[in-house]
Amino acid sequence: QWLGKEGLYVTLERFHDLFQLTDSYRAYFSSFQEIATVPIRRGGAVTEVFHVYQTGKMLKPYP
């Protein structure tokens, strides 16, 4: 149902730093580009960072 659709991929900083993991998703989309980082703050300090990627059309289903 998602084949041929564009989307967003959102991941946490700790997974973003695992380059092999992030790169493994590229083969499933016609394009895969980071478009934003979203810092989450608690008490004025950054506690987590989300990385947002825009994906092109999904080429094959994820197992």
pLDDT for the residue 4: 95
Tokens for 55, please give them.
Answer: 């994906």
DSSP string, 1-37: --TT--EEEEEEHHHHT-HHHHHHHHTTBS-EEEEEE
How far is residue 32's CA from residue 25's CA, in Å, rounded to a whole number?
8
Name residues whose C-beta falls within 8 Å of residue 8's C-beta, 6 or more positions apart in sequence: 52, 53, 54, 55
How far is residue 4's CA from residue 36's CA, in Å, rounded to a whole number?
23
pLDDT tens digits for 4-63? 999 999 999 888 778 788 888 899 999 999 999 999 999 999 999 999 999 999 999 987
pLDDT for the residue 1: 81
pLDDT for the residue 27: 92
